[in-house]
Amino acid sequence: MAGMVHTGKTRACETGFLAVLVTVVASAVAVPDAAGPPPTPWVVAHRGASAYAPENTVPAFALAAEQHATFVEFDLQRTKDGALVILHDTTLERTTDVEEVFPERGRQVVVKGEARRQWPLVDFTLAEVRRLDAGKWFDPKFAGTRLPTFGETIAAVRGKIGLFIELKSPELYPGIEAAMLAELKTAGLDRPWADPRTPVLLQSFTVSSLQILTRELRTPLPVHLLFGPADASRWTNDQGLAEARTFATGLSPDKQVLRTDPTLAARARSRGMLVTPYTFRASAPGTYADVGTEMREAIAQGADGVITDNPDKAPHSP
């Protein structure tokens, strides 16, 4: 202010106060700059625009950007030789032709009393994964589509859409959290809203993985806790929200959780947490007339965004 005289003592007091303030802020989970995030409601394209293109592939990600989604959500896992790739299941047979390319490599397993063969990603190198077709299972016109690496995904969508990265089954891949952050750092995306055209948010169902990110690796990136109805009783009461806030800046609950507890979004927001429920599908709008109506209802209940297979049908921010 004009006319104010600063003495050495005043400066010392101010310096001491700032030091204490910085220490207090640093001791909590980092909260992104309120001016930095994209405007809500966010439209998060689940595995890309996966209603229209093969999930977790570059065509699905590109279409999500064309449909004006805020973020593309995808699942991060690791190959046998340590490459980060995009895949939802921990096995390859549902979304690739691995059974045709490597018929002898399937593991015999029993699932719910039924014997079957599976092809776990952890058994394959990146070179082997690159031989697989990840598109023709969805539609023959996508034949030749490959599973993208993390780096290829960043390069394909940079400047077009944000990254909503889910660490999938991280217990299978010790150290994947640090590997992911290293690639984000290389891309210049390891700080909150570092590139306003490509904002980054991390999420996982695995609490220990989120704690590694925020407590051990001390990432300043926003982090969301994913959970379904089975875990709602743990995380939606006041004690659970307080616990979640020690390692996460937001929640990504199953949409049924928000419907059952319409106060959740407001209570989470009072703790500085955003809420982005999953998964809204045109093929399964529940009791609603259509998925657009269902998503608008979630926004009306306070959701800060929706995770959907159909980003073209979502209510977009003004």
Residues 219, 181 contacting (CB under 8 angstroms) = yes
Whole-prediction pTM: 0.88
From first to last of its 318 residues, what are the pLDDT tens digits of the chain?
A: 444 444 444 444 444 434 443 343 334 454 444 448 999 999 999 999 999 999 999 999 999 999 999 999 999 999 999 999 999 999 999 999 999 999 999 999 998 899 999 999 999 999 999 999 999 999 999 999 999 999 999 999 999 999 999 999 999 999 999 999 999 999 999 999 999 999 999 999 999 999 999 999 999 999 999 999 999 999 999 999 999 999 999 999 999 999 999 999 999 999 999 999 999 999 999 999 999 999 999 999 999 999 999 999 999 866
How far apart are alpha carbons 211 and 208 in whole angstroms?
A: 5
> How many angstroms separate the most distant Cα atoms in the chain?
82
Helix (H) or strand (E) holding 274, with range, is strand 274-275
Topology (CATH) of 35-92+125-313: TIM Barrel (3.20.20)
Helix intervals (H) in 27-169: 58-66, 98-101, 126-129, 150-157
How far apart are alpha carbons 117 and 271 in whole angstroms?
A: 46
Q: How far apart are the first and last CA of the chain?
A: 38
Q: Token pair for residue 161?
A: 């859409």
CA distances from 250 to 190, 191, 210, 246, 303 (A): 18, 17, 11, 11, 11
Helix intervals (H) in 113-149: 126-129
Residues 224, 276 contacting (CB under 8 angstroms) = yes
**Strand, coil or helix: what is 164?**
strand
Q: Token pair for residue 302?
A: 């306070």
CA distances from 223 to 32, 133, 216 (A): 10, 32, 14
Residues 132, 92 contacting (CB under 8 angstroms) = yes
Any idea where the domains of the chain sit in the sequence? 35-92+125-313
Helix (H) or strand (E) holding 110, with range, is strand 107-111
Region of 52 on the Ramachandran plot (φ > 0 left; ψ -120 to 50 alpha; else beta): alpha
